[in-house]
Amino acid sequence: MNYMTSANERINNCYHEKKTLFTFTDKSGEKSNLTLDKWIADALSRMLDNVHAWIQAEYDRRAIGGKSGELSRRAIGDMIRIAAMKLAFSAIDESEL
């Protein structure tokens, strides 16, 4: 996906790719986006009171509280996606498999 696409195009692409778009504030104070697979976002929304706040906290922990100079924006996003996936998998009841 082109970085310069409009917000409406990104939202439309997320809908068709079965992804959910979350916004958060990066370490520069700018708005940034993170996409999660829809099933992960749905699982997190059932587990957490505020998924956006969880994503912000995960970002802050990794980018601001961690070694932010050593990690790229993409690496931090990937780490958050992995944490979200692990949390979503932990909520799956084995009887549903």
3-state SS string for 43-68: HHHHHCCCHHHHHHHHHHHHHHCCCH
57: tokens are 């906290």
Domain chopping of the chain, boundaries: 7-92
Q: What gap in Å lies between CA 82 and CA 97, rounded to an integer?
A: 21
Per-residue pLDDT tens digits for 79-90: 999 999 999 999
The Cα angle at residue 3 between residues 65 and 82, in degrees rounded to 5 = 45
Q: How confident is the model at residue 13 (pLDDT cuts 50, 70, 90)?
A: low
Backbone angles phi, psi at 94, to 5 degrees: -60, -25
9 or 80: whose pLDDT is higher?
Answer: 80
- Residues of the chain above pLDDT 90, percent: 57
Instruction: Read off the pLDDT of each residue in 35-52 and give the average, rounded to a whole number.
Output: 94
Closest CA to 15 of 35, 43, 44: 35
Residue 67 has pLDDT above 70, yes or no: no
Q: Global pTM?
A: 0.77
Mean pLDDT, all residues of the chain: 83
